[in-house]
Structure 1
C-alpha cells in the first residue's frame, strides 16, 4: 500500500475507510476520512485492506538535471502546469507525535491530497523549500525565482507556487520584480490544513491551476474571495496583503479591486477536461497578457531594513540602521516620524543609504508636502513611497539597490503595478 491508496483499516472493532496519507512517523497510518478529518492509527495494531490503488501515475526517477523534479504521466492534449512547493499549510500534514501542523508534503503529495487537480493539466512538480513561511528569506526568493524561470523555459504553460500564507505577499512581490514572465505565475496556499473539513486547500489549488491556464501573465495570489466556497480572488502580487490571521478570505487587494476572480463551481465543471475554463474566470482590470519575453534579474540586497516608527520611541533604537543597504520607514499618516528622528534619517542619506517613506495606513498615499515634518523629511532626502504597501516597498528596495543605477527614480516608478495612478492624498 502507498499514500494515495483508498484503504479500509480495522483496529479494536473500529473500522475506518478513506485515503492513505503520508505520515510523519513510521509507526502510524494516517487516513483521510470521507468527512474530511484525518485519523492516526497504530500501524502494528491495525489490519489494512487496499480498496483502490493510487490513481496518480508517478515517475519514481526524476531527472536530476532539472532539480528536485518528478513528473506525472503526460497527455499531449493538456496544458503543462508546474507545481512548485515551498511548504506552508497547503503542503502540510499533522505530526502525530506532537499534534502540530508541519510542512512536509512535496508536489506529488499535493496531487495526492487534491485529487480534483487530476485531468486539468499535465503537472511537473519540484520542491524549492519545505518550510513554514515565517522561515522564508531573500535567498529562498532567489531560489524560487530561478526555479520558476527554469520551469517556464522548459515549456511550462503556467506555474503554481504552493506557499505559506503568512509571508506570501513578500514572495509575490519578490517574484514580480525579479521576473518578467510570459505566462501566469500563481501563488496559493491555505489558511487551514488539509486534515480539517473546513480546509480551503482544495478550492484554492483548483482555482490556482485554472488561473495558471489563463491569459493573465502576471504574478498573482489566488485565495478565497470570501468566507464561502464560491470563488477565489486573483490579486496582483504587488498590491496584495494578508489582513486577517485565520479567515479563509484573509487576502485583499489594497487600494483597488482584485484583478479578477474564478468561480469555483464553473471551474470544477468546465476545467477538469484540461480546457481553460474561460467562463469561470472574470478579469476586471487591465493586466499583462501572455507573451514571449522571459527574463530574470535575481540580485537582491538582503540587508535592507524595515523600520517602524512609534510615538515615544528612542532615536537610539534606530542605530542598527547605520549598516543597512537601504531603509524603508513605516511612518504615520501621510508619512511622518518624530522630529527627533529626522537628523538620523538625514545622516543615513548622507552616507549613501536610500531611505523610502511609506505609511502604516493601508489606504492612501504618502505625501510629505502637507506638513512641516514632511517637508523636513524631504529636505533630509527621504524618497516618497507613494501608495506602495510597506512590505512591497521593502522587497522593491532590495531589488532596486541591487539592480538600479537610479534607486530613487526606480522607487518612484511603477514596475509591476505596485504604484497606482496619482491621486490626492486626502478625500
Structure 2
C-alpha cells in the first residue's frame, strides 16, 4: 500500500523544505520536491499550507494503567498523545503494581503494544515498588524491554541508594531518569516558597528541595558514568549546575515541561488547582532560566509530564488537590504559539527539542526522524489558523489543564503511526 503526502512544508534533517513524502506500507520510502512523484496511490493526503514533521517524541507521560484507570488508560492516554502529534512516548512506572521485575516489565511492554495507538516505551522503576532502597534487577528489566529506569513522582532520598542505582543502570546500559526532590526540604509546601505564596497564604516549599538533590546527583553521575537524566527541571540553580556539569563531561541530560516554560507562580490564583503540579510552578526568574537553557542547549528536550486526574482529585482547596496537569494534547500548539510565533525560539529549534533530541538521547532509533527507511510516524500541523483549546476535544480522560480556552496556532491535523492514521482532526 502506498500513501502520498503532498504539497506540505516538511521538517527533515533539521530543515524545513517544500516536499512530498511517499509512504510504502509502514515505511517512508522517499521524499521529493512537490510534484516529483507520479502514480496511482492508495491514499493521497493534501498538506497544502501545513507542516509535516516526524511524529513528536515525549519521554515522560503517566498512563495510570494498571492501578488508577479512572484517571487514564493505555488506550486513552495514547489517543491523547496522537491528538497532540506524538507517535512515541515513554510511560512512567508509578503504577499498581509497579513494573519493578522483569516479568512485570514484560507484561507492560506487551500491553503497551496491544492497547496503545502510538509507540509506548516503558520505564521500569529504580527501586522495588518505587519506594525504599531495594534496587531492581537492572539487567533483567532491560532484557524484558525497559528503555530506562525512574522512580518518577518520588525522589531517591538516600545518596547511597542513588549511587548504587546509577552504577547498576550504567552497567546495564540504561538511562536513569530522576525526579529530583529532597523530601526533608518540602516543609509541607504546596507551591514554591515565594512572594506569591505569601500573598496567597499558602505553605511554600523552597526551590532548593530540587536543586540540592541535583547537586548531589551530578557528583554521583560523574563518579558512575551513568546517563543521568533530570525529569522536569524547573529552577535556575538546577539549570546553572547542569550547564556546568556538561562542561565537566558529566553524561547528563534534562527535560523541561511546557508548563514550566510558559507559566510561573504569578499565574497561581490559589483557587484553580489546575496550576498545582510537582515540581511546582517557579518564579519568573526560574522560567527565564529555562528559556535560556533551551536556547543554549542546556535543556536537551521538552517532555510533557502528562499527568491526568479526575475532577474529584482537583478540588478548589490548593492544599488538598493532587499534583499534575495533562499535557499531551496542548504541548505543541501552546509552545508554537507562545515561543515560536513570539520569536523566542525558532520553529526548527522547537521541533528538534520535540523529535530528534529525545529520540537520539534515549536511543529510540526508529523515532524522531522523517527520512527514507524510517517508520512512517508522521504528524501534520496547521500553523496558519487559530483554534480554541476545548475540553470537548480531549481524548484523555483528564481535563486538568489551565490551558483550556486558550486561542492557539499549531493544531494537529493528522497523526500517522507506521503509515496508518491514528488521529484526524474533525472537519468544522
Q: What interval of TM-score do these two structures reach, taking the shorter chain for normalisation?
A: under 0.3
- Structure-2-length-normalised TM-score: 0.27
TM-score by length of 1: 0.27
Determine which structure has the larger helix proportion and give its number: 2
Higher CA-based Rg: 1
Task: Considering Cα pairs closer than 8 Å and 6+ residues apart, tell me whether 1 or 2 has the greater RCO.
Answer: 2
Q: Select the structure that is richer in strand.
A: 1
